[in-house]
Amino acid sequence: MNYEIKQVDKFRFIEEGEGEILLLLHGLFGAMSNFEHLIGHFSKNFKVVVPILPLFDLDIFHTSVGGLEKFVQKFIETRGYHNIHLLGNSLGGHVALVHVLKHPEHIKTLTLTGSSGLFENGMGDSYPKRGDYEYIKKKTQLTFYDPEVATKELVNEVFEITNNRLKVIKIIALAKSAIRNNLGEELNQIKQPTLLIWGNNDTITPPFVGKEFNKLIPNSELHFIDKCGHAPMMEVPGEFNVILDGFLKKYASIPVTQ
């Protein structure tokens, strides 16, 4: 992925294309590369923005879903974004939900895929085994329906994170924060049109979680994708983009292309 990473103040981000803002939030082991196919497709009609979330840079007291939401809010304020189409995967979805509940005024639509906020399975009761590459490889593969999607590069990234003691402490802090921060009783306050895209084979936030979000968020629609795990935008980007395209065209002001 050869997109320029911009830096403004403490924020590092990708910003590609022109139009209404499509803001993408990655998950706990995520990175900008998770959204490679989205950026290429949607930057034709939107200004696609992907901030690097400070998963390991916040002090331990602010290493939480709430701390990440405050970072996102400051980023949006600094950049002067409005009319935002907000999308989050996994923990990024959870941060997006908290943000919409706290600052609904600039958010036009919400898209969640494999989001935490109601229920999620962690990396397992023995997580994380530092220094055990094969264990980390198997756990990374469980994110996807097709284990081949977990490339050596991706496994190496996760292994590097889990092999760093301070990063492990912060990963655990974020995971525990996500479990504590259950939004079940607040989701009925969300007024924005909401798209839910779920993998039918997601073992981390299983299909019933998508159904529960659909039941609790008033103006929401749910789409399942077969043979797909926890990160549909990586595993089946073509199908994911078609669903997101159809949703955004209903709510975004997109110029007609000749």
**Does residue 103 have a pLDDT over 50?**
yes
User: For the stretch 52-91, what's the b/e string if a residue is b when 16 or more beta carbons lie within 10 angstroms of its beta carbon?
Assistant: bbbbeebeeeebbbebbbbbbeebbeebebeebbbbbbbb
Q: What is the 3-state secondary structure (H, E, C) of 84-114?
A: EEEEEECHHHHHHHHHHHHCHHHEEEEEEEC
pLDDT band at 1 (very low <50, low <70, confident <90, very high): low
CA distances for 130 relative to 1, 35, 161, 176, 211, angstroms: 29, 27, 9, 19, 35
The answer to whether 27 touches 90, Cβ cutoff 8 Å, is yes
> pLDDT tens for residues 60-93?
999 999 999 999 999 999 999 999 999 999 999 9
pTM for this structure? 0.93
> pLDDT tens for residues 155-176?
998 899 889 989 989 989 999 9
3-state secondary structure of 134: helix
* More confident site: 31 or 98: 98
**Does residue 258 have a pLDDT over 60?**
no
User: For the stretch 165-192, what's the b/e string if a residue is b when 16 or more beta carbons lie within 10 angstroms of its beta carbon?
Assistant: eeebebbebbbebbeebebeeebeebeb
First to last CA, the chain: 28
Map out the domains of the chain with their CATH numbers: 6-120+182-251 (3.40.50.1820)
